[in-house]
Structure 1
Amino acid sequence: MAAHPKTSSTTRRKNDPESVQADILAVAMREFSEKGLSGARIDEIAEKTRASKRMIYYYFKDKETLYLHTLEAAYQKVRLQEAELDLDHLAPLEALSRLVRFTFRHHVQNPDFIRLVMIENIHHGRYLAQSALIQSLNAGVIDVLTSVYARGVAEGYFREGLDPRELHWLISALSFFNVSNQHTFSRIFDWQQAAPENQRKLEDHVAEMVLRYVRLDEANPQK
């Protein structure tokens, strides 16, 4: 005799809590990025997931805790993808270029992440500051940049005296603006910024600007 659909669904949720939580976080990401912390509703998140409102509270306690976990999941995703770039096996110039291009493309492909970061800035980074995980994850990308930069200096490609945190700021700023201000910039200047050919040009420009900034000798960048 076939199981009652409701019973079967409940059993699946109990047997796969990680999948249920991932589903909740994916929907929460869309809701928080579109409506902000104050505008998002647990009722609406529950309606769009395989979980009940009660189950969301069971896993995440309250809306603010869910928001914090959503932030953590968003940062964890980008940092894990950065770790897969395998930059240690590339020459410094190529490694830095790959990191810049990855950051640019990640932001284009994940506008919800950009909006979520903008919302957290509205809250002055208050929730982000509560997360030891996010602090650790973001320290990791600075460690990666420090390693690439140090190798570049040692091998005579990069100029000395640069701060990896400032370099990360530069990469992030150029890539972030491309998404955060895309609609206003396109309308103000009557320019199809999101068009594929324009995005390719902008990615090339960002990579070139960062490499020009760090290179020891622009006239002979390949040494």
Structure 2
Amino acid sequence: MATRSRTTRAAAPAASDTTTPAVSAKANAETTPEAGAPPAARAARAPRKTVGKTSGKTADKTAGKTTDKTQTPAPRTAATRDPERTSAAILAAAVKEFKEHGYGGARIDAIAKRANINKRMLYHYFGDKDALYLAVLEGAYMQIRTAETRLHLADLDPVEGVRQLVLFTWRYYQEHPEFLSLLGTENLLKAKFLKRSARIFDLNSPLLSMLSDLLRRGEAAGQFKPDQDALDVYLSMAGMNFFYLSNRYTLTTTFRRDLGAKEELARWGEHVAEVILAYLKA
């Protein structure tokens, strides 16, 4: 009995040893190349194992942190890579701020927030509030003058050209209330900022040139009276349109007639065109 017991106990390790060759073979298969490889190769392999071990929790955490960091400064990165887009975004935000609060009430902080940038970036592009406001004014004039060139007035009959310019001006004022607001603000400031502009005359002179050409051709064709002043004609059409829109609420209340109604707005544009053409008629 004693002999059998010792044999059983001695056999137990032997049973466990049966798994040893397989484990050892696997271990040898993994470790032998490393052992036989040159030192540089072993060094090159070592980081891969380290990366593999840390690509779980550590890599996930790092990825999470990286994502958070890239999300925060994204506007600044975009601004750096696309300066034209950033400049346009700042101007668009500034237009809204100056329209709603005027020059005095507008805040750089609010403009930067609207444009989704920081103040430092805004100052980098435009210098200060005064320079930004002047850029907004110049931009507003540039937009309407550029849109007027698309009328191709030089290709139209003089009478039709004047009509189209009157109706275009009327529609533009309705579609761009910010333009009228900016003009109102700058007039309250007695053109303080426009006087600093070196390009404001050049921006607006093409309009008078186009209108002068219409008047000269109309005169030559016997359609218009001679010696008509282009600025007088423009002030007449712009004045009637501007006055209507800037005072339509008080006029609506005073005369109990909805001057903001669609049919009223359409009628007024035609009325102004007829008044201007009747005045010019030879």
Moved over 4 A (4+): none
Alpha-carbon distance, 1:7 to partner: 4.0
Moved more, 9-18 or 75-84: 9-18
- Counterparts of 1:172-191 in structure 2 under 5 Å? 172-191=238-257
Query: Residue 236 of structure 2: which of 170, 175, 183 is its match?
Result: 170
State the alpha-carbon separation in 1 of the partners of residues 159 and 129 from structure 2: 44
- Counterparts of 1:35-74 in structure 2 under 5 Å? 35-74=101-140
**Residue of structure 2 in register with 1:196 after alignment:** 262
- Counterparts of 1:1-223 in structure 2 under 5 Å? 4-216=70-282
State the alpha-carbon separation in 1 of the partners of residues 260 and 199 from structure 2: 33
Say if 2:75 and 2:117, in contact at 8 Å, map to a contact too: no
Q: Unpaired segments of 5 or more residues in structure 1?
A: 217-223
Alpha-carbon distance, 1:181 to partner: 1.1
Q: Unpaired segments of 5 or more residues in structure 2?
A: 1-62
Alpha-carbon distance, 1:125 to partner: 1.0
Alpha-carbon distance, 1:6 to partner: 2.6
More relative contact order, 1 or 2 (CA 8 Å, 6+ apart):
1
Alpha-carbon distance, 1:48 to partner: 1.1
State the alpha-carbon separation in 2 of the partners of residues 148 and 46 from structure 1: 44
Alpha-carbon distance, 1:100 to partner: 0.6
Alpha-carbon distance, 1:137 to partner: 1.3
Alpha-carbon deviations, 1:115-163, whole Å to 9, x = none?
1101100111121121122211111111111011000000110001221
CA RMSD after TM alignment: 1.3
Work out the percentage of aligned pairs sharing the same amino acid.
37
Q: Flag the structure with higher helix content.
A: 2
Give the 3-state SS of the residue equivalent to 1:48 in structure 2. Answer: helix
Give the 3-state SS of the residue equivalent to 1:85 in structure 2. Answer: coil
State the alpha-carbon separation in 2 of the partners of residues 102 and 117 from structure 1: 18
Larger Rg: 2
Alpha-carbon deviations, 1:44-82, whole Å to 9, x = none?
111111221111111111111110000011000000000
Alpha-carbon distance, 1:15 to partner: 1.1
Say if 1:129 and 1:135, in contact at 8 Å, map to a contact too: no
State the alpha-carbon separation in 2 of the partners of residues 136 and 188 from structure 1: 41
Which letter maps to 2:124?
Answer: Y
Give the 3-state SS of the residue equivalent to 1:191 in structure 2. Answer: coil
Alpha-carbon deviations, 1:12-37, whole Å to 9, x = none?
11111111111111111111122111
Say if 1:72 and 1:134, in contact at 8 Å, map to a contact too: yes
Give the 3-state SS of the residue equivalent to 1:157 in structure 2. Answer: coil
State the alpha-carbon separation in 2 of the partners of residues 165 and 138 from structure 1: 11
Count how many residue pairs are aligned between Structure 1 and Structure 2.
216
Give the 3-state SS of the residue equivalent to 2:115 in structure 1. Answer: coil
Say if 2:166 and 2:272, in contact at 8 Å, map to a contact too: yes
Say if 1:120 and 1:127, in contact at 8 Å, map to a contact too: yes
